Amino acid sequence: MQATIQANVQKWLDGNFEQSVKDEIKKMQQDHPDELADSFYRNLEFGTGGLRGIMGIGTNRMNKYTVGMATQGYANYLNKSFGEGNVKVVVGHDSRNNSRLFAEIVANVMGANGIKVFLFEALRPTPELSFAIRHLGCQGGVVCTASHNPKEYNGYKAYWNDGGQLVPPHDKNVITEVDKIAGVDDVKWSGGESNITLIGREMDEAYMQMVQSLSVYPEVCKAQHDLKIVYTSIHGTGITLVPEVLQRFGFTNVTIVDEQKEPNGNFPTVVYPNPEEAEAMSIGLRKAKELDADILLGTDPDSDRVGIGVKDHNGNWVLMNGNQTAVLAFNYMIEARKAKGINQPNDMVVKTIVTTEMIDTIAKASNINCYNVLTGFKWIAELIKEKEATENYIVGGEESYGLMIGSQLRDKDAISAVALLCEMAAYEKNKGRSLYQKMIDLYVQYGFYKESLISITKKGMNGQAEIAAMMEGYRNNTPTVINGSAVAQLLDYQLQKGKNVQTGEEWTINLPKSNVLQFILADGSKISARPSGTEPKIKFYFSVHAPLDKAENFDAVHQQLNERIDGIIKDMQLK
């Protein structure tokens, strides 16, 4: 390890880097050797979300050099795949510090490689980039964002010609090309500026028209135009489009959370700019209570995740989790389309393997195919591509606050999700009830599914090794009983094998390899263990369910399910 660090550091000290960078490295050598080690012990790698890391100097950091080298590798692969002179890409960015700088570097390197670049004139939501790739007939795209990560991070998501993020074999092939870039001298930094075209309002217009076309009940939005909506963009890109989209849907009573309205890469009002975090939604929640609103919505910096808050059955404001939001969205797109008579016999929906199985149950009851894919919207995009000749995709989602409605883009889209969630709230209000009451009615109809998630962070150079050791421990010493219930099945997505623990029977899991383990217990509980592809974290997902005979028993059953999850966490010694 030490030799690798020294070699990487020396390469930068001897190489064609700015003098200020070399001075900073020397200062780190003297004053901050641990930081230097973490900055140079490896090269930033593409994970499930592309390139992502802390900003700073070094091979393991997001900076102009690592961005330029990654882009050169990606440009080489695009030119090899489609032929030089035949490649067009879209480049976008979010509100993070350095995102504009990185986007311009990407555009310049792509342009210098003879690639036609459509560069967004200013920050825009990530889903609009996915839409633009398809709309402009491009072969690829890049958005500079670290999604919901803390302010120290930035990142780089690479896309393919379908508007989805890279999947095999392209992801591995791009990594191979990036690894061939020996240093900054291999990068074409400039010379193709004439290949760059700025895009903006005309693409916004095309995208917003697409979002409007997703509305199932526009007449209900008009009838409930004064639905009290509170929206926060959490210092991100959502502010560029959400207010206008809601206006186009017919909503006239929208309050924007002023304290979080301005795009700002320092995210001054939050620790994590992530609508999954209650703290990030707290200012919006206060505003919603103050106004006695109908619904609160928040989007993350690049506007691909959405969180919502509503009043519960006791009139208290609560934040819905990603599984609940997904259930409401999937059910609405199935139920409302059917009621409107616009459903198709070949409609399908897609979710990830760690998202609530309540969606499978709802789809089955409506005779709609529900497909399960690996975590990440690139797999949903890949499945749509595989099925689009024979099946009609209507909605996809995952528990981590991501939804994708309609197939005209191929990544999670919080802009259209905000609009449709407001339409759902209007639809229920028109029937005299809230979204939360609708949720309880669905529990009575399909069973009460309760999910929870724990993330364990292991930082630094040893973090990944500790996480790997945890996964190997579960693989090699599979527990036989968890929380008093026998482990009935072990699903190992890395080995692509499922096993009946009682009988020893094995079967093949027909999904790409992924480092995920799932334990299915005899009582129906499901526990999933999954290391993050972009952060030094391991995530544990818990799912339990029980019948709910009537709405009045909601609180009692809710308590039972919470206790079951707590029991599992305690038994697995995760807290």
Question: Where do the domains of the chain lie, and which CATH numbers do they carry?
Answer: 42-199 (3.40.120.10), 207-446 (3.40.120.10), 448-572 (3.30.310)
Name the helix (H) or strand (E) containing 72: helix 64-82
Length of the chain in residues, anyone?
A: 575
Which strands, in side-by-side order, build the sheet including 88-93? 46-47, 50-54, 153-160, 140-144, 88-93, 116-120, 196-199
DSSP assignment of 316-333 equals -EEEPPHHHHHHHHHHHH
The angle, 0 to 180 degrees and rounded to 10, between the axes of the packed helices 2-14 and 33-40 is 90
Tokens 């020294």 sit on residue: 6
pLDDT recorded at residue 48 = 53
> Which residues on neighbouring strands pair with residue 521, listed in sequence order?
487
Report the 10 Å Cβ neighbour count for 254: 18
Intervals of the chain under pLDDT 70: 1, 46-49, 460-461, 533-535
Predicted TM-score of the model (pTM): 0.95
Catalytic residue among 147, 233, 303, 485: 147
504-550 pLDDT, tens digit each: 999 999 999 999 999 999 999 999 999 976 667 899 999 999 999 99
pLDDT recorded at residue 45 = 78
Report the 10 Å Cβ neighbour count for 209: 10
The tokens of 201 are what? Answer: 């309002």
The answer for residues whose C-beta is within 8 angstroms of residue 264's C-beta and 6 or more apart is 95, 235
* Helices assigned H by DSSP within 306-370: 322-340, 358-365
pLDDT recorded at residue 459 = 78
Rounded to whole angstroms, how far apart are CA atoms 360 and 340?
A: 22
Rounded to whole angstroms, how far apart are CA atoms 56 and 153?
A: 9
* Residue 366 is among the residues annotated as catalytic for this protein: no
Rounded to whole angstroms, how far apart are CA atoms 266 and 525?
A: 40
pLDDT recorded at residue 536 = 78
* Helices assigned H by DSSP within 408-457: 414-430, 435-446
Output the CA–CA distances (angstroms, integers) from residue 219 to 224, 254, 426, 427, in the order listed: 9, 18, 10, 10
> Which residues on neighbouring strands pair with residue 510, listed in sequence order?
none
475-492 pLDDT, tens digit each: 988 899 999 999 999 999
pLDDT recorded at residue 148 = 87
